[in-house]
Structure 1
Amino acid sequence: MLFHVQMEVRLPHDMPAAQADDIKTREKAVAQEYQRQGKWPHLWRVAGRYANISIIDVADIDELHALLSSLPLFPYMDIRVTPLARHPSAI
């Protein structure tokens, strides 16, 4: 199943820089592994915001939740999910 996922990150302003850097490093590693596995085929940054728009390709909503909740930045994210279906006019 394909899902359109919007993620906005909101780290606490008082989070120590070293802690934020560690979380971001771990986040990058996890996200890139999901991309290598083909589960996260599209990842775009939203210009001017600490946010992204992604297409996630997983078996079902339970796998999507497991993937998203495994992200190190998950506790600091506002996430919006839209399930996608093939459009009848798509080639």
Structure 2
Amino acid sequence: VRMELAGERDQIAVGLDDRTPLASVEAHGPPAPGKPWQGFLERFGPAYEAELDAFVRLVRGEAANPCDGLEALAALRIAEACELSRRERRPVRVDAVAP
């Protein structure tokens, strides 16, 4: 699982590490990892445990909500701008999507 973003000025990738099952087809490119991730739970199990722990602490009143409604609204606006861009085949700025 990874994400790559290509823009006019740069290209970035999220989710790359020394166990990402990705190899170059070029003769002198980097080799495949020696010990790739074997599955979803091996790779993401600790993240799910941390999310569950944060949720339980929130429900018990032991911690504040780490993602408030404003952050959720911002994520929704990004998703809406992406969908509009895909549908209309044009760039769409996030601030053009009504809150």
With normalisation by structure 1, the TM-score equals: 0.30
Larger strand proportion, structure 1 or 2? 1
Larger helix proportion, structure 1 or 2? 2
With normalisation by structure 2, the TM-score equals: 0.28
